[in-house]
Amino acid sequence: MIRYALICELGHDFEGWFGASADFDDQATKGLLACPVCASQAVRKQIMAPALAGTKARGLGGAPGGGTRAMMMDVMSKVRRHVEDNFDYVGDRFAVEARSIHEGAAEERGIYGEASQAEVKALVTDGIQVSPLPPKKSQLN
């Protein structure tokens, strides 16, 4: 596994884990990368020092990071399933509903749905916390 320090166009720092160095470019091209704070897909790698692992760090199922990727994919799948099972799906009304909840005009509850990048930026600018869902397993291949 390769860990990259990433940054979006709005300056939000986060990290991403990739099975190979080409995976970042492949996922970025497919539109699968997004900032976890604002959902911007304008994500780039930051300059970072290399992390060198000794033999102790390699003990994860044989290959370096061998079990880590599978574990991360499983966790992301469980997060998505939890949201889909427990939150209200509001479709393309996500931005409107999130703003209504934030302003106290609608019942406070967990919601999920779709929003344009501009809508997400406006929500974040107004201090409304939103986060993209992890992609479905079918989108990761």
Which of 47, 72, 97 is the endpoint of a domain? 72
Range of the domain at 118: 85-128
**Is there a single domain that holds both residue 48 and residue 112?**
no
**Is there a single domain that holds both residue 57 and residue 97?**
no
Q: Count CA atoms closer than 13 A to 106's CA, side-chain side.
A: 15
Query: DSSP 3-state assignment of 50?
Result: coil
CB under 8 Å, gap of 24 or more: what pairs does 101-105 form? 102/126, 102/127, 102/128
For 23-65, write each residue's pLDDT tens digit. Answer: 888 888 888 888 888 888 899 988 766 555 554 544 444 445 5
- How many domains are there within the chain? 2
**Is there a single domain that holds both residue 89 and residue 63?**
no
- Domain membership flag for residue 135: no
CA distance 5 to 17: 9
96 versus 48: which is more confidently predicted?
96
11: left (phi over 0), alpha (psi -120 to 50) or beta: left
The pairing of beta strand 2-8 with beta strand 13-18: antiparallel
pTM: 0.54
**Is there a single domain that holds both residue 44 and residue 92?**
no
- Domain membership flag for residue 118: yes
